[in-house]
Amino acid sequence: MPLIDLANPTRFLALSHRLLPWFAAATAAAFASGIYLAVSAPDDYQQGATVKIMFVHVPAAWLAMGCWTVMTIAALGTLVWRHPLADVAARAAAPLGAAFTAMCLITGMLWGRPMWGTYWVWDGRLTSVLVLFLMYLGVLALWRTVEDPSRAARAAAVLTLVGAINLPIIKFSVDWWATLHQPASVLRLGGPTIHSSLLTPLLVMALAFLLLFVTLHLAAMRNEIMRRRVRTMLMLQAEAAGH
């Protein structure tokens, strides 16, 4: 089936209906093996058992950035090709991205408390993830303020693209700012090298998180398509009742 057929929401619904159970099962299997590997992984000689927070923290951080990439591609689809599913994909990815970013921040704070002695430091990495979180909240606020879904999609698409241009600049300036304030920072997340006994569970957990994202994204896209159909039906009903 050519990819263009997926542009039809009905075909997308049919295909995603068939695919979704497989993705859900694969997610469950990946999480089962990932959590088993993470629990049985050896403790770090310095960090102790808290190193296991990394198995949730790092995949969440990767997905926090990955979700904005998905939204950027979807935004191009919305603005350039007026792709009917691109709006839906962008809208479904935004809350997921915000959730993964929040998860990254919270697990990072839980790790920081025993390791650094404080929940929060104004380190470059932490701060740029916090700004990323604020940008996600801005996109969500825009989605929730504009009533018409396709207009909201185009406004959110412009904001997403502006964000995609600005996020590397924000990252660069925050890093520059943090190194200016705290030279020779000892607060580095993870060492320069990582032993394979920790790397394998991390990669399995990353795969599990990726599958979780795909599953949730497909499910959220299905919900969004149906929500729009309900909205259209209600508006047609209201119009008919008005005549």
Shortest spacing between CB 141 and another protein, in angstroms: 5
Asked if 81 is part of the footprint of another protein (rule: CB under 8 A), the reply reads no
Q: To which H or E segment does residue 242 belong?
A: helix 196-242
Q: Judged by CB under 8 A, how many residues of this single chain contact another protein?
A: 29
Shortest spacing between CB 157 and another protein, in angstroms: 8
Asked if 92 is part of the footprint of another protein (rule: CB under 8 A), the reply reads no
Please identify, using beta-carbon distances, which residue of 140 and 219 lies nearer to another protein.
140
DSSP letter (8 states) at residue 9 = H
Site string for another protein, 130-159 (x = CB under 8 A): -x--xx-xx--xx--xx----x--xx-xxx
> Which residue in 60, 92, 174, 225 binds another protein (CB under 8 A)?
174
Cβ atoms of residues 110 and 53 within 8 Å: yes
User: Would you state the torsion angle of the CA atoms of residues 154, 158, 161, 167, taken in this order, to the nearest 10 degrees?
Assistant: -130
Burial of 210 (0-12, 13-18, 19+ CB in 10 A): middle
How many CB atoms sit inside 10 A of residue 9's CB? 18
Stretch that binds another protein, among 33-41, 51-59, 173-181, 223-231 (CB under 8 A): 173-181
| Residues binding another protein (CB under 8 A) | 79, 131, 134-135, 137-138, 141-142, 145-146, 151, 154-155, 157-159, 161-163, 165-166, 169-170, 172-174, 176-177, 180
